[in-house]
C-alpha cells in the first residue's frame, strides 16, 4: 500500500531538500510532480487539485522560502496537509454512547468486506469496550450469507440472531431490534447484502432498513483495492444513506492507495477503521498521522511502538535495561535482542516501519538480505559456550572456527557478530554520557508511549526508558513531521550488514 506514491514523493522531496535556497518556481514545479504522483496513485482529481492548491499557497509564503531549511518546511506542510486530507490528527472511534441497543449498520458493495468487518467490530466491542454485542445478517441475496455470519459469530464468541428462512431484510432488522432489546444487548451490528453495482433496489433496501433500525452508526465498507471506482461508490452511498463513517478494508494489500486518500474528502465522513488482513483481529483505528508518515517515508512509529510493547516481555526489557546500565551487556543480551527482532516480524517488517528506513529497506532488498541473517546470528551465539557468551574476549581463532562450523556459518560472520556486540557496547557507553537511556528516549519523542522509545532495531523497552536496541539507528524521527533518519548515520556494523550479505 502506498509504496509507489511514497517512492515518487520521496524523489521529489529529496530534490527539494537537497537545495539550500528555494524559489517560488521550484515549489510550483515540485507541486506539479506531486500532483501527477497523486493522480497516478488514483487519488480523485478534485481531491488532488484541492490538496496541491492548499500546499502551494502555504509553501510559497515568504517565511517558508526564506527559512534556513525551505525543503524540510515544504515536506512538513505536505505532511500536515495529508493528515488534514485524511481527516485530521484525531482518531474517531465508534459512537457507542446511545440508548441501547446501539445499532451499527454496515453497508457497501459486494465483497468489500462487510461481513468480516462486522465480526471484527463485534470482537473489538467486546474486548476493548467491554460491551455485549449481537450480530444479525440481513443478507438474503447470497446463499449461505447468514450462515457465514453465524460461523464468524462463533469464532469471535458473539451472539448472532437465529436464522429464519425466507424472512426479508426489513423484517429481520425488526426482529433483531426486538431480540437485542429483550436480551439486553448493548450493541446490535447489522450486516447487509452487497450488490455488484450501486442500484435502486440496493439503495431502497438500505433506506428501509435504516428507517426501522435508526442506526447510530452507518459504516460504509470500502475495499481499498477498488481505486477510483470506490470514490463513485462512496458518493452514491453517501447521497442515499446517512453515513457516519468509513471502513477501509484490505489496507494490507498493494493497492495504490488513492481510494483511501480520497475517501474522507469525498464522503466528508471520518475514516474510522482500517482492515489489515483476513484474521478477525486484523482491524486498526485509522490514524491519519501514521498514514501520512508512511507515505512520506517517515515510518509508522506509533504502530511500531505498539507492536514492540505487545511483543517484548516487560521483565526481559527491564532486566536488559538494568544490565546495560551496569555495563554488563554480553552476547546473551545481544541474542535476546535478536530474538525480539524476530518476534516482531523480522528485519523487513521493522525497516518498513522505521522512520527514514525506506532506503535501508531497499538496500536490504538489493543485497538480498533477509531474516536468515538474524537466524544465523542466533545460531552463532548459540554455538558458543556459556563462558564465551558472558565473556566474548575468550573467542580466539580456534574457537571462532569451531563456532562457525557448529552454526553452519563462516568465520567472518562470527567476527561480525562479535564486532556488532562491541559496537553496541561502545554505543551504550556514549548513551550513558549523553544522559542515559531516558535522555535518548526523549530524543525519539517517545517517553510517554507504551514502548517509551525507539532506540533502534529491537529491544525497545516495555517501560519508559527501556533498553535502547541497536543504538544510533533511530534518530530524531519520532514526532510527526520530524525529519527521517539518514541511513548514513547507522552504526557502521549495521550499515555493513545492510549493504553486504
Ligand atoms: N486481506 C484482507 N482481506 C479481507 C479484509 N477484509 C475482508 N477480507 C476478505 O475479503 C473477502 C470478502 O469478505 P466479506 O466480509 O465476505 O465481504 P462482504 O462485503 O460481506 O461480501 P458480500 O456479503 O458478498 O457482499 C473474505 O475472503 C475476507 O476474508 C482485509 O482487511 N484484508
Ligand atoms: Mg457479506
- State whether residue 356 is helix, strand or coil: coil
- pLDDT at position 317: 63
Instruction: Provide DSSP, 408-464.
Output: T--HHHHHHHHHHHHHHHHHHHHHHHTTHHHHHHHHTT-SSSSS----SSS---SST
Q: Is 145 in the pocket of ligand 1 (CB under 6 A)?
A: yes
Instruction: Name the E strands within 35-167.
Output: 102-107, 133-137, 159-160
307 lines ligand 1 (CB under 6 A): no
pLDDT of residue 442: 38
Ligand that comes closest to the CA of residue 275: 1
Q: Which three cell numbers stand for residue 178?
A: 426486538
Ligand lying closest to the C-alpha of residue 120:
1
Ligand closest to the CA atom of residue 253? 1
One-letter-per-residue 3-state SS of 307-327: HHHHHCCHHHHHHHHHHHHCC
> E strands within 63-184?
102-107, 133-137, 159-160
Residues 222, 230 contacting (CB under 8 angstroms)? yes
Over its length of 501 residues, how does the chain's per-residue pLDDT go in tens digits? 787 888 888 888 878 777 767 788 888 888 998 898 888 888 888 889 999 999 998 888 777 777 767 777 788 888 889 899 888 888 888 999 888 899 999 999 888 999 999 999 999 999 889 999 999 999 998 889 999 999 999 999 999 999 998 999 999 999 999 999 999 999 999 999 887 777 788 888 899 999 999 999 999 999 988 877 788 888 888 888 899 999 999 988 777 778 788 888 888 899 999 998 899 989 999 988 888 887 876 554 445 555 555 555 556 666 666 776 666 778 887 787 777 666 666 655 555 555 445 555 555 555 555 667 777 888 899 899 988 988 888 999 999 999 999 999 899 989 988 887 887 777 666 656 554 444 443 333 333 333 323 333 333 333 333 333 343 333 333 333 233 333 344 444 444 444 433
SS3 245: strand
**Cell of residue 251, nine digits:** 489496507
> What pLDDT score was predicted for residue 310?
57
In a 3-state reduction of DSSP, which class is residue 233?
helix
Q: Please, are residues 430 and 437 in contact by the beta-carbon 8 Å criterion?
A: no
Centroid of ligand 2 to alpha carbon of 150 (angstroms):
11
Tell me, what's the pLDDT at 210? 93
Omega within 30 of 0 (cis) for the link into 79: no
**Whole-number CA gyration radius for the chain:** 26
- Ligand 1 atom nearest to CA at 249: 31
- pLDDT at residue number 138: 95
Atom of ligand 1 nearest to the CA of 274: 31
Sheet holding 133-137, edge to edge: 159-160, 133-137, 187-191, 102-107, 217-223, 245-249, 271-275, 283-285
Q: Look at residue 478 in the predicted model and tell me its pLDDT.
A: 31
Single out the residue of 366, 378, 367, 371 nearest to residue 346, CA to CA.
371
According to DSSP, the residues that pair with 221 across neighbouring strands are 247
Q: What is the pLDDT of residue 63?
A: 73
Q: Is the CB of 371 under 6 A from ligand 1?
A: no
Q: For 160, list phi and psi in degrees, rounded to 5.
A: -125, 150
Pocket of ligand 1 contains residue 146 by CB under 6 Å: no
Is the shortest distance between the CB of 345 and ligand 1 below 6 Å? no
Amino acid at each position: 500500500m502506498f509504496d509507489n506514491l511514497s517512492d515518487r514523493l520521496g524523489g521529489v522531496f529529496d530534490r527539494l531538500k537537497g537545495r539550500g535556497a528555494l524559489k517560488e518556481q521550484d515549489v510550483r514545479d515540485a507541486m506539479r510532480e506531486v500532483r501527477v504522483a497523486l493522480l497516478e496513485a488514483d487519488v480523485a482529481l478534485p481531491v488532488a487539485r484541492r490538496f496541491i492548491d492548499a500546499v502551494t499557497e502555504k509553501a510559497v509564503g515568504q517565511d517558508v522560502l526564506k527559512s534556513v531549511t525551505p525543503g524540510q518546511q515544504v515536506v512538513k506542510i505536505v505532511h500536515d496537509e495529508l493528515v488534514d486530507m485524511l481527516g485530521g490528527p484525531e482518531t474517531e472511534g465508534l459512537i457507542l454512547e446511545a440508548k441501547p441497543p446501539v445499532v451499527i449498520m454496515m453497508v457497501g458493495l459486494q465483497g468489500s468486506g462487510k461481513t468480516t468487518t462486522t465480526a471484527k467490530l463485534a470482537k473489538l466491542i467486546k474486548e476493548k469496550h467491554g460491551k455485549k454485542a449481537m450480530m444479525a445478517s440481513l443478507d438474503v441475496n447470497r446463499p449461505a450469507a447468514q450462515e457465514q455470519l453465524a460461523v464468524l459469530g462463533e469464532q469471535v464468541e458473539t451472539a448472532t440472531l437465529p436464522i429464519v428462512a425466507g424472512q426479508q431484510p426489513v423484517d429481520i432488522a425488526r426482529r433483531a431490534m426486538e431480540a437485542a432489546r429483550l436480551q439486553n444487548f448493548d450493541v446490535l451490528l447489522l450486516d447487509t447484502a452487497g450488490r455488484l453495482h450501486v442500484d435502486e433496489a440496493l439503495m431502497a433496501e438500505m433506506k428501509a432498513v435504516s428507517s426501522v433500525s435508526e442506526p447510530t452508526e452507518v459504516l460504509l465498507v470500502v475495499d481499498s483495492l477498488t481505486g477510483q471506482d470506490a470514490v463513485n461508490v462512496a458518493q452514491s452511498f453517501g447521497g442515499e444513506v446517512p453515513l457516519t463513517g468509513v471502513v477501509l478494508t484490505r489496507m494490507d494489500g498493494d493497492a495504490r492507495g488513492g481510494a483511501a486518500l480520497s475517501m474522507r474528502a469525498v464522503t466528508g465522513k471520518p475514516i474510522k477503521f482500517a482492515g489489515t488482513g483476513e484474521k478477525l483481529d486484523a482491524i486498526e483505528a485509522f490514524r491519519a498521522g501514521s498514514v501520512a508518515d508512511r507515505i512520506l517515508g517517515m515510518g509508522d512509529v506509533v504502530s511500531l511502538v505498539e507492536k514492540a510493547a505487545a511483543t517484548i516481555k516487560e521483565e526481559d526489557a527491564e532486566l536488559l535495561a538494568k544490565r546495560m546500565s551496569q555495563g554488563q551487556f554480553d552476547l546473551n543480551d545481544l541474542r535476546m535482542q535478536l530474538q525480539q527482532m524476530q518476534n516482531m516480524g523480522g528485519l523487513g517488517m521493522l525497516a518498513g516501519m522505521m522512520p527514514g528506513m525506506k532506503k535501508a529497506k531497499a538496500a536490504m532488498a538489493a543485497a538480498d538480505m533477509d531474516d536468515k541473517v538474524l537466524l544465523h546470528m542466533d545460531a552463532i551465539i548459540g554455538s558458543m559456550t556459556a563462558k564465551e557468551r558472558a565473556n566474548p574476549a575468550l573467542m580466539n581463532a580456534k574457537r571462532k572456527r569451531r563456532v562457525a562450523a557448529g552454526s553452519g556459518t563462516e568465520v567472518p560472520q562470527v567476527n561480525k557478530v562479535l564486532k556488532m556486540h562491541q559496537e553496541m557496547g561502545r554505543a551504550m557507553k556514549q548513551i550513558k554520557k549523553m544522559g542515559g537511556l531516558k535522555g535518548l528516549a526523549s530524543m525519539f519523542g517517545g517517553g510517554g508511549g507504551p514502548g517509551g522509545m525507539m532506540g533502534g532495531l529491537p529491544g525497545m523497552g516495555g517501560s519508559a526508558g527501556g533498553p535502547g536496541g541497536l543504538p544510533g539507528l533511530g534518530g530524531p524521527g519520532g514526532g510527526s513531521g520530524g525529519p527521517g533518519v539518514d541511513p548514513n548515520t547507522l552504526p557502521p556494523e549495521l550499515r555493513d550488514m545492510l549493504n553486504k550479505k
